[in-house]
């Protein structure tokens, strides 16, 4: 089968290679299914894994790809109900290949109205937005939410969810094109920033949803009103400089880490509830596909993400 594999952990992604004839996955065992993958979506952890910079490190060589969609073509004992169904795949790796064999617990039905490409790109952004804003952030209608990286897949999901839940949404991005996408997703206000020297002239924000980090961290924290919550989503803009904890004390702000996938692994019942919540809101949280490339050109999608030029989500067409 055709697949993309990482053979070596390198910062320049030189260990990533396309294989036209990689061995087929095993036949499904008890409780397992085999899926013919149609699309897989790219996420920042996929990029980090190629350099060994993510907390989960698959054994080399490995097939990247944490979210995908496809058709169940074979089932093992106990998983027969999935036969022939279109599904979303949630896995820690393996999506950038023509076929996957995995536990049936790692697939679910595609929400009504999502195309195969949208289904592949749906879960990570929507789930992180839900767990971040609604669970960890305790968002209430009428609050002001500031979203950094608002033109990326994660940011757009947060903008759409916050708007749908009755918040006043302020979108922050480094290009007018990304801010336009954020307005389409529901942002009430937008702030154009310089990535190297960002300025956010606000002091009235209740929740910051920040997947960017780096230079934007301190301006985002300073934007918080008294008692505000700063959600650490990720660091696509690099590690932030250390800051004095007395800033949190003086304004009584909360610094909150968000790991949506880990919540589900630690508490499966809560994880299922979170997935049900986003699936019920699929029409609102429909992802924006900014780039779609064939499997053979997956390196182009990784390059766009590494360069910070990607708008919305990148999808690999298998």
Please give the domain boundaries of the chain with CATH numbers for all domains.
Answer: 3-122+286-317 (3.90.180.10), 125-261 (3.90.180.10)
Q: Which of 270, 271, 317 is nearest to 291 (CA)?
A: 317
Give percent above pLDDT 70 in the chain.
Answer: 100
Q: Which of 158, 127, 69, 153 is nearest to 265 (CA)?
A: 127
- Cα–Cα distance measured from residue 52 to residue 241, given in angstroms and rounded to the nearest whole number: 22
Q: Looking at the predicted structure, is the pLDDT value of residue 51 above 90?
A: no
Residue range 257-306, pLDDT digits in tens: 999 988 889 999 999 999 999 999 999 999 999 999 999 999 999 999 98
Instruction: Rounding to the nearest 10 degrees, give the CA dihedral for residues 125, 126, 130, 136.
Output: -10
pTM: 0.94
Q: In the predicted model, what is the mean pLDDT of the chain? A: 95
pLDDT bracket for residue 309 (50, 70, 90):
confident
The two beta strands, 67-75 and 32-41, are antiparallel
């Amino acid at each position: 089968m055709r697949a993309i594999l990482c053979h070596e952990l390198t910062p320049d992604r030189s260990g990533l290679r396309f294989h036209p004839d990689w061995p087929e996955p095993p036949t499904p065992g008890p409780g397992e299914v085999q899926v013919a993958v149609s699309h897989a979506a790219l996420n920042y952890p996929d990029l980090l894994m190629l350099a060994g910079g993510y907390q989960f490190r698959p054994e080399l060589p490995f097939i990247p790809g944490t979210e995908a969609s496809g058709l169940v073509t074979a089932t093992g004992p106990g998983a027969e109900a999935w036969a022939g169904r279109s599904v979303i795949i949630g896995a820690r790796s393996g999506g950038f290949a023509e076929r996957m064999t995995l536990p049936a617990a790692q697939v679910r039905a595609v929400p009504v109205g999502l195309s195969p490409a949208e289904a592949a790109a749906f879960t990570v952004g929507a789930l992180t937005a839900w767990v971040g804003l609604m669970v960890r952030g305790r968002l209430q209608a009428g609050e002001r939410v500031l979203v950094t990286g608002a033109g990326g897949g994660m940011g757009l999901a947060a903008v759409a969810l916050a708007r749908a839940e009755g918040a006043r949404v302020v979108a922050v991005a480094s290009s007018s094109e990304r801010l336009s996408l954020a307005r389409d997703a529901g942002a009430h206000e937008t702030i154009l920033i310089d990535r190297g020297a960002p300025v956010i002239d606000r002091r009235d924000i209740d929740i910051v949803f920040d997947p960017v980090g780096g230079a934007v961290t301190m301006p985002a924290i300073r934007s918080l009103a008294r008692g505000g919550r700063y959600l650490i989503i990720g660091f696509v803009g690099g590690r932030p400089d250390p800051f004095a904890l007395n800033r949190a004390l003086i304004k009584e702000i909360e610094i909150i880490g968000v790991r949506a996938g880990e919540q589900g692994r630690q508490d499966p019942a809560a994880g299922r509830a979170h997935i049900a919540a986003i699936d019920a809101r699929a029409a609102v949280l429909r992802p924006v596909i900014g780039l779609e490339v064939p499997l053979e050109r997956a390196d182009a999608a990784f390059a766009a993400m590494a360069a910070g030029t990607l708008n919305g989500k990148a999808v690999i067409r298998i």
